[in-house]
Structure 1
């Protein structure tokens, strides 16, 4: 059985994925933003091996989360599920002076990827909205542009794909893939979402543990366990490297090739 760490797993798709994997006997380490959410997650999934706490909106707290997660590793898979949604009405700065959507959706997965001991598999949750994103990284922290919450979210989800594919090149011994769960009626997706909630958590679980040859791949993108087209810029190695360089500069954390 595998040991799996899932970020943002106190509720929503993260907890659904953890519950599905726990049903198959896998060991789950959950993540919650604070102690209240951690207690709720432990109550929701008593079979979980542990619940670690950490607010990934700040660099310092994300680094501490990586340290805490490593105490319960090593992992067979890490699922980068944590994210903030697409309906953010304004640019909110974190303690590091970064927009919260970028800090949580882009920078936190980068820091955790770099600092958590390499697993056998990495899974990054993106969104179909990544295909509408601008691939320009000139104003990645929204300092000069007028804030657009949907566009900021879409760009962060493109960043997740770029990171997944970059890591696949950096670490050939790790299976690193991305996926979109679909627009589903979670707290983030909202009540008007039209996709199938019962399918939304299955691809990430499949990529994390399955021995199906279709899952034993790297630098791929999926939807409902089927390959799906990505933003054309996703496979631009120079863009991948530029994103890595920006994240390294902003976080002070290096991603070792």
Structure 2
């Protein structure tokens, strides 16, 4: 069985991911911004540990990484935390996964939630960014990391537009399908996953991401920008 961290798991896809992993017998560390945000407090009985931190705060995220390293090493990390709030989209959706990757010990597998909306994202890193931008940037980051850190299998997943607090009740996609792919990528035998690393996935199938996400020049710009913003370097 695997030890898996799931960020942003107080509700929605994150909570569903935790429940699926725990039901399959895996040891799960649940991250949330705070305990009072948990939609279902009974999940605390099904997880190995919890860790609370505001991922919009770089210092708090670095501290979280240090605390998590005391629980690890992790077999997999699922970077599920996300927000559509324009003021927080880049800090939570992009900077936090980068900080956790740079500050934690290397893990076996690292999966980030992207979005089909990344296809409408822009490449101007200098002036903040909205939700679509953030998902393009973090997709480019993880596809770059798949090349830079061959010891870890990095993937990005589009879970679809699912009926969560973020997606809204009228979202047309299925909540179960929305979390199955990341659970599979975190725990399946490597022989079952093709490509083994660097995939952009939707419902168990590899898809073509935005062309900028696989552009080495843009990937380098994203990483350089994140290094400057956080003062953390990838090793």
TM-score by length of 1: 0.87
- Residue 12 of structure 2 corresponds to residue 24 of structure 1: no
Asked if 2 retains the 8 angstrom alpha-carbon contact of 1:41 and 1:51, the reply is no
What is the Cα deviation at residue 252 of structure 1?
1.2
CA distance in 2, matches of 1:171, 1:138: 26
Q: Which residue of 1 aligns with 2:50?
A: 51
What is the Cα deviation at residue 52 of structure 1?
0.3
Instruction: Give aligned pairs, total.
Output: 234
CA distance in 1, matches of 2:190, 2:141: 24
- Residue 123 of structure 2 corresponds to residue 162 of structure 1: no
Q: Which residue of 1 aligns with 2:124?
A: 136
Q: Which residue of 1 aligns with 2:234?
A: 255
CA distance in 2, matches of 1:14, 1:45: 14
- Residue 199 of structure 2 corresponds to residue 220 of structure 1: yes
Query: What stretches of structure 1 of length at least 5 have no aligned partner?
Result: 92-98, 143-151
Counterparts of residues 76-225 of structure 1 (less than 5 Å): 76-85=75-84, 88=85, 99-139=87-127, 141=128, 152-211=130-189, 213-215=191-193, 217-225=196-204
- Which 4+ runs in 1 deviate beyond 6 A? none
- Residue 25 of structure 2 corresponds to residue 10 of structure 1: no
The alignment partner of 2:78 has SS state of strand
Asked if 2 retains the 8 angstrom alpha-carbon contact of 1:33 and 1:53, the reply is yes
CA distance in 1, matches of 2:100, 2:89: 16
Deviations, residues 180-206 of structure 1 (Å, cap 9, x unaligned): 000011000011211111210100000
What is the Cα deviation at residue 41 of structure 1?
5.7
TM-score by length of 2: 0.95
What is the Cα deviation at residue 254 of structure 1?
1.1
Q: Which residue of 1 aligns with 2:224?
A: 245
The alignment partner of 1:222 has SS state of strand
Asked if 2 retains the 8 angstrom alpha-carbon contact of 1:4 and 1:75, the reply is yes
CA distance in 2, matches of 1:249, 1:174: 23
Cα pair distance change 1:101/1:181, threshold 3 Å: same
Cα pair distance change 1:45/1:201, threshold 3 Å: farther
The alignment partner of 2:45 has SS state of coil
The alignment partner of 2:21 has SS state of helix
Asked if 2 retains the 8 angstrom alpha-carbon contact of 1:130 and 1:157, the reply is yes
